[in-house]
């Protein structure tokens, strides 16, 4: 009985550490985001939905396939709503190419940053490793094909899909993709993804001209 009580107490303590919510943060456009504390990190619990850099400069919205592809080829910052629908922005945030997140004018709110690959790894390790962390990060609703998670972490990840470099939108409801701030090669960057069909989180490399969701972490 004593061992059972100790185990229950440890599980409860871990749950409290994971689910300690930390209020809200506003970006430089005035949008407000929930914050979640997971282990020693503080993350936004929602995807970024900002249209300007921290200094007030506008980021170009690329609606057509041609506009999006050209921005990537020329290495210019760009964003879009999935399917160019602002309703998707309210739910999933905006999709950004890597040139937007890497711009020195700053995409994240003051005091926050785009996570590094190491930041993502720390989160993944705390939540049980690559094969288990995805379920704890995925929201408990909104994923197609019975792909919902438990959201034990409070990260509340939604499947916002992506935009290919040539402009096509794909995988809304099935996949969520998030950029890191780090390059892999001259033309690619590191990222993470969650998928409806399993409980893991994937790590891979993407073309910088693709459009992905963005989460921010306290700097």
Nearest to 54 by CA among 93, 24, 28: 28
pLDDT confidence band for 22 (50 / 70 / 90): low
Q: What does the block give as tokens for 117?
A: 């690959």
pTM, whole model, 2 decimals?
0.89
User: The tokens 């001209």 sit on which residue?
Assistant: 209
pLDDT digits (tens, 9 = 90+) for 148-188: 999 999 999 999 999 999 999 999 999 999 999 999 999 99
Q: Which residue has the tokens 């409290």?
A: 16
42-94 residue pLDDT tens: 999 999 999 999 999 999 999 999 999 999 999 999 999 999 999 999 999 99
Residue with tokens 């892999």: 184
Residue 82: CB partners within 8 Å, gap ≥ 6? Answer: 88, 89, 92, 95, 160, 161, 163, 169, 172
Number of domains in the chain: 1
**Domain interval for residue 73:** 2-218
8 Å CB contact between 62 and 45: no
């Amino acid at each position: 009985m004593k061992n059972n009580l100790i185990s229950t107490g440890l599980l409860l303590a871990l749950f409290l550490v994971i689910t300690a919510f930390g209020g809200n943060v506003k970006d430089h456009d005035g949008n407000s985001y929930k914050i979640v504390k997971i282990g020693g990190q503080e993350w936004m619990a929602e995807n970024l939905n900002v249209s300007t850099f921290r200094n007030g400069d506008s980021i170009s919205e690329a609606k057509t396939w041609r506009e999006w592809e050209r921005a990537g080829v020329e290495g210019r910052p760009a964003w879009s709503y999935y399917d160019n629908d602002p309703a998707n922005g309210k739910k999933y945030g905006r999709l950004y190419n890597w040139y937007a997140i890497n711009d020195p004018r700053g995409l994240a709110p003051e005091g926050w940053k785009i996570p590094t690959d190491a930041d993502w790894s720390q989160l993944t390790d705390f939540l049980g490793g690559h094969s288990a962390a995805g379920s704890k990060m995925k929201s408990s609703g909104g994923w197609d094909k019975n792909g919902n998670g438990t959201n034990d972490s409070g990260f509340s990840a939604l499947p916002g899909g992506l935009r290919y470099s040539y402009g096509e939108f794909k995988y809304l409801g099935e996949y969520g993709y998030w950029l890191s701030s780090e390059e892999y090669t001259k033309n690619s960057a590191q990222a993470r993804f969650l998928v409806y069909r399993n409980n893991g989180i994937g790590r891979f490399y993407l073309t910088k001209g693709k459009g992905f969701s963005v989460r921010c972490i306290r700097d």
